Amino acid sequence: MSKLLTALETAEWLKERDSFLLITHRRPDGDTLGSAGALTQALREYGKTVYVLFNKEITPRYSKYIDDCIAPDDFIPDNVITVDIASVDLFPDNAKSYANNISLCIDHHGSNTMFASNTCLNQERASCGEVIYDILTEILDYTISPVVAERLYVALSTDTGCFMFGNTTSNTLRVASLLVDAGAPIKTLNKELFRTKARSCIKLEGLLNTGLEFYFDGKVAISSITKAMIETTKATEDDMDNIAALPGAVEGVYIGITIREMTSPEDCKISVRASAPYDANEICSKFGGGGHKTAAGATVQKTVSKIKEDLLKVLEDMF
Amino acid sequence: MSKLLTALETAEWLKERDSFLLITHRRPDGDTLGSAGALTQALREYGKTVYVLFNKEITPRYSKYIDDCIAPDDFIPDNVITVDIASVDLFPDNAKSYANNISLCIDHHGSNTMFASNTCLNQERASCGEVIYDILTEILDYTISPVVAERLYVALSTDTGCFMFGNTTSNTLRVASLLVDAGAPIKTLNKELFRTKARSCIKLEGLLNTGLEFYFDGKVAISSITKAMIETTKATEDDMDNIAALPGAVEGVYIGITIREMTSPEDCKISVRASAPYDANEICSKFGGGGHKTAAGATVQKTVSKIKEDLLKVLEDMF
């Protein structure tokens, strides 16, 4: 049984303890890394000993917000905290040994499995960064510093696509405004995170846009990414951050599907984005995957063309 | 001589008068139309008679925020107000006759020429919509309604590229947050304005990204748009809203240039976006145009390839 803590109770909990290790999730994004980097920095400013467990999947885009936080190999913490992690399945391999021993989970996913002794969960928040903000502003005598503001801005803005995605709320915008006042360098951050694309990314997106296929009166768009395309364009994981959103962004499209070849031609990842009345989770569950109504995924051991065939059969029943 | 009014003085000025005609600028964008639509609606809710002068360049994207505001042909106003207009050069043709007779100018451009009897100017604001918000919140007994909130959100968000451009401030985010609380349907608006692209737009962007040319060690990127490309892709003016920003968004690019064929092969528009230390205005002034350091433009009576040649000569001197 996990005990649910409010932001205020979490602030008290943190104040009363010391020696923390923070865990970020697999395939770490700006929210888990920005949140961990911000909480580490803030608690250090408050006099605590805090580190983040090394995550081998950290990409260059976000490393600067977390590099100074990484735990030395011999660090033995008194308390282990997860940030932006809904279940232990999302732990990186090197964090698995802590799975039964998480003191505090800070999260914003409604699907949280309550795996920690204490859980500070607010599913009204668009990003875990906003939950961290709620906690930090409950700690007396602590004022958000420019470094913390920058990292929290990274968390908020990347999880909402620069305030563009459907999860953005008035709270997201309010907190973002306060973070800018606290010193988050919004011009530089927006330019780096949202207004700069690598040439490789531009090339890959050009290929994908040219190759988009439409079905069922334009209601379905399918984009296929082969390993050859990734090799030709030299696209990196950072370049592909937002690629699953492309087919669904075309006017009139209700179901946007991306099929990506992973390690071999018979190892593919499907990403589905859907708008009502269609259900991405329903589609992916037919392929052994799952997720939310608006976004879901699956891993399938078939070729791109075979998957497309199977998908069209499944979709035919829905249209 | 124009008299400068604060937001409070402007609110008083509006309360004391009635019968207003609002003028929007040439090639109207979300800021001028959203601001005009919001001010019209708010003053009507306050009991005033208000209309917006018809602007023949209104595109389908924004028409729904302004359609119910358009003045009948026989409307004779007591007061003419401009919104988001820096100089009379930017008046649509059918507004030229009012040029010497503007009672109030509401604007946020530092380059404002003070053409009106009274001017409410705040160049700290990213959008004219924020200036309108400042004024409306100074009017006693007026609470922003959902319709006004929606239109102001259109103004703020489009002028800042959904809070992504360098002009976004903590005030923009703060006001956006309050507008969402006041009923601006952020999910629907963001989806329509920023997350939906017409197939024609996707196709044109694909072509442009494929055809991008890089010079001077990748510091300069040039994109050429011919009439043939526009015809093949069936791209509309709405599709090309943001096209000038594309070449400048590539990593490592300091100067992004778009050359677009307009009415004939020898009638082109150049758009330049530059980051420090380079100056877009300096480049465009060599072609009889001008603008700001970060964004400028020019109209040139030469072919795309001749302009490219001339541009490269100008740039060679700078590098």
Chain A positions touching chain B (beta carbons under 8 Å): 162-166, 168-174, 176-178, 180-181, 186-187, 190-191, 194-199, 202-203, 205-206, 209-210, 212, 214, 218, 245, 249-252
In Å, how far are A146, A170, A180, B178 from A173, measured between CA atoms? 18, 5, 11, 9
Which residues from chain A sit within 8 angstroms of residue B186, using beta carbons? Answer: 168-170
pLDDT in tens, A220-255: 999 999 999 999 989 988 888 778 888 998 999 999
Query: What digits encode the pLDDT tens for the residues B28-48?
Result: 999 999 999 999 999 999 999
- Cis-peptide into B277, omega within 30 deg: yes
Contacts of B293 by beta carbon, 8 Å cutoff, 6+ apart: B274, B276, B279, B280, B281
With beta carbons less than 8 A apart as the criterion, state whether A79 and A11 touch: no
Size of the A and B interface in Cβ pairs below 8 Å: 117
User: Do residues A98 and A20 lie in contact, with contact meaning Cβ atoms separated by under 8 Å?
Assistant: no
- Which residues fall within 8 angstroms of residue B141, CB to CB, at 6 or more apart? none
**Can you list the alpha helix ranges (DSSP code H) found in B234-288?**
280-285
For the CA atoms of B88, B94, B97, B103, the dihedral, rounded to the nearest 10 degrees, stands at -60
User: How far is A61 from A95, CA to CA, in rounded Å?
Assistant: 22
The pTM for the full model equals: 0.88
Chain centroid offset of residue A58 CA? 12
**B121: which 2 tokens?**
């100017």
Q: Has residue B241 got a pLDDT over 80?
A: no
Among chain B, residues having any CB pair with chain A shorter than 8 Å are 162-166, 168-174, 176-178, 180-181, 186-187, 190-191, 194-199, 202-203, 205-206, 209-210, 212, 214, 218, 245, 249-252
Q: Which residue of B has its CA nearest to A178?
A: B170
> In sequence order, which residues have a C-beta less than 8 Å from that of residue B241 and are 6 or more positions away?
B29, B61
**Banded model confidence at residue B90, pLDDT cuts 50, 70, 90:** very high
Contact B199 A174 (CB under 8 A): no
The predicted structure's pLDDT at residue A244: 87
Chain B: closest CA distance from residue A224 (Å): 15
- What class has domain A3-194? alpha beta
Res. B163 pLDDT band, cuts 50 70 90: very high
Quickly state the pLDDT bin for A100 (edges 50, 70, 90): very high
Asked whether A300 and A308 are in contact (CB, 8 A), the reply is: no
**Distance from the A279 Cα atom to the nearest Cα atom in chain B, whole angstroms:** 18
Positions of CATH 3.90.1640.10 in chain A: 3-194
Instruction: Kindly tell me if the per-residue pLDDT of B196 is higher than 80.
Output: yes
Of B180, B209, B212, the CB nearest to A169: B180
Confidence of residue B20 (pLDDT cuts 50, 70, 90): very high
- For all residues of chain A together, what is the average pLDDT? 94
Is residue B234 left, alpha or beta, with left meaning phi > 0 and alpha meaning psi from -120 to 50?
Answer: left
The pairing of beta strand B118-121 with beta strand B104-107: parallel
Looking at the partner chain, which of A173, A191, A245 has a beta carbon nearest the beta carbon of B176? Answer: A173
> What pLDDT is recorded for position A121?
97
Tokens matching residue A61: 């885009």
In chain B, list all ranges with CATH 3.10.310.30: 199-318
Domain B199-318 belongs in CATH node 3.30.1300.10: no
With tokens 């005598």, the residue in question is A141
